[in-house]
Structure 1
């Protein structure tokens, strides 16, 4: 589950290729077990994993991606509150207006050094809205925890796969 591309994968031995695959699968299974044991949603963990790996190959880049994903979760909660506030005033236009504001914010942040990954922000927004619950501290804590576990799994997988590939 690393960012190893198919052409690069072809340049390694079949044994190493399969070893890298097994490392990703084992780390994903263990991360899923821990996530479920903590009563967190596995789908949110996988969004954290994907967010961590959405741009760059280094741990530093992965952590920056994680920060963007976590901010996206917070933006999602803010958007839900904005929709609730706007609905009595503009009715069915509330959601499109809030989405417009989200997209302006997220795409403007692509100019911010370090955490300028719109895909990771959108994955955080998806994580919040996929939960289909009101923005509560416990929901946000659960989504953040699941995202962090996913990013941790993604990072561990990348490091172990990189060592195996050398």
Structure 2
């Protein structure tokens, strides 16, 4: 909540022209990233998930890059949790899913204070992408999702860089 307040306060302090420039830059970058994703036959919504992950901690390049890393770890742990749940269903029945969710949450929440891997939002966003995409567990699937989210992450970086240069 405080992040939203800080952004609102910052927007009020920005001149109207800079506010409009920031908005136009972000819109152009997002539109271009969507076009690139579609041109490469990648899911645009997956690209936007990378864009969202980039901005979960936009205070520094390191924080944003670690958010992308957590997103990619989330993709992997999503795939592993799907396989694990499937393997345990015959043995545990309906308890398989809550057990796997518990174990995954232990890992992700347990890493919350880690400087590099502590972005829980990005981890869970990666898991959401994995399950929503409904891809088979193959190297091509991971590459596909990694490229699409990377386009979004690069769009986030570009948006930040351009806005720092011209709109702040």
Per the TM alignment, residue 165 of structure 1 is displaced from its structure 2 partner at its CA by 2.4
Question: TM-score w.r.t. structure 1 length?
Answer: 0.93
CA 133–93 in structure 1, closer or farther in 2 if over 3 Å, else same: farther
Task: Report the RMSD for the aligned CA atoms in angstroms.
Answer: 1.5
- Kept after mapping to 2: 8 A contact 1:80/1:135: no
Do 1:68 and 1:121's aligned partners in 2 also have CA atoms closer than 8 Å?
A: yes
Partner residue of 1:68? 70
The separation in 2 between residues aligned to 1:90 and 1:135, in whole angstroms, is 23
1:103 to 100, 105, 109: 105
Return the alpha-carbon distance in structure 1 between the equivalents of residues 136 and 167 of structure 2.
Answer: 44
Q: Which runs of 4+ in 1 moved over 6 A?
A: none
Q: 2:129 aligns with which of 127, 130, 147?
A: 127
Deviations 1:109-130 (CA, angstroms, capped at 9, x unpaired): 1132322111111111111011
Check if 1:25 corresponds to 2:19: no
Cα displacement (A) at 1:44: 1.0
Gaps of 5+ in 1: none
Return the offset for 1:32. 0.6
TM-score, scaled relative to structure 2: 0.92
Aligned counterparts, 1:1-166, within 5 A: 5-166=7-168
